[in-house]
Structure 1
Amino acid sequence: MILYPAIDLKDGDAVRLLRGEMEAATVFNTDPAAQARLFEKAGCEWIHLVDLNGAFEGYPVNAAAIGAILEAISIPAQLGGGIRDLGTIESWLDRGIERVILGTAAVEDPDLVREAARAFPGQIAIGLDARKGQVATRGWAEETEMTVTDLGKAFEDAGIAALIYTDIDRDGAMGGPNIEATETLARAVSIPVIASGGVSSMTDLTALKATGVVAGAITGRALYDGAIDLKEAISTLSAAH
Structure 2
Amino acid sequence: MLKKFKYFLSKNCYEILVITLLLHLYGSLFFSDLYFYGTYIRILNTVFLYFGSTITFLNRKGENFKKGKIIIGLLFLLNFGLLFVGKTSIFSGLRDVFYLVFLALTLYNIAKFLISPHRFDKALIFASLSGYLLIIEIAVRSFMVLYKFEGNHILNNVDFSYHTKTFIDTVYYCTVTITSIGFGDILPIGHKAKILTSILGLTGQFYLVIVMGIIVSKFISSNQKK
- Give the TM-score normalised by the residue count of structure 1: 0.30
Structure with higher RCO (Cα < 8 A, 6+ apart): 2
Which structure shows the bigger proportion of residues in helix conformation? 2
- Give the TM-score normalised by the residue count of structure 2: 0.31
Bigger-Rg structure (1/2): 2
Which structure shows the bigger proportion of residues in strand conformation? 1
